[in-house]
Amino acid sequence: MNAIHKRRLLALAALLKKLPPERFNMKYWAGPGWTGDETLSCGTTACAMGWATTIPEIRRGGLRLVRPGGKWGNGVGQIAWRNRKGEEFQDEELAGKKVFGLTPTETSALFVAPAYLTVITPKQMAVKIERFVQNRTRKR
């Protein structure tokens, strides 16, 4: 079992607790109002992983929102992981592994939209992340 990046996940949970519910939507990495602004100050909605891209430590880990290309994208923004060479990989499971230390199953359980066909608030998502971290670190 890989070690998770607990500090990054908890930083995301802390951000989500402060986020207004109308700016959060787990159906979009970044919603239709996204202008390409890295800070999401354009007023768009975003999912938990989309908001994670605004946290400096997580950005240094390579997580980015990018314009979708080809088959990628569920809205205007797409999650990507950028390696140290500057190569981008538009794959949320790879981003979950590289940035948070998660398995593909854990990434899907926390961040992928099919689990969020019902509405979830940013505070509920924060609690889910905190519980995950608590349970995952307890297993080690």
Q: What is the pLDDT of residues 71-112, one digit of tens each?
A: 444 456 788 888 888 888 888 888 999 999 999 989 988 887
pLDDT above 60: residue 58? yes
Selected residue with higher pLDDT from 132 and 92? 132
On the question of pLDDT at 1 being above 80, the answer is no
Distance CA 67, CA 90 (A): 10
Residues 13-43 have pLDDT tens digits of 999 999 999 999 888 888 877 888 888 988 8
Q: Assess whether pLDDT exceeds 70 at residue 2.
A: no
Quickly list DSSP for 23-82.
GB-TT-SB-TT--S-TT-TTS--B-HHHHHTTSHHHHHTTEEEE---TT--SSSBEEEEE
0.85 exceeded by pTM: yes
Closest listed residue to residue 14, CA positions, set 2, 22, 25, 6: 6
Does 65 score more than 80 pLDDT? yes
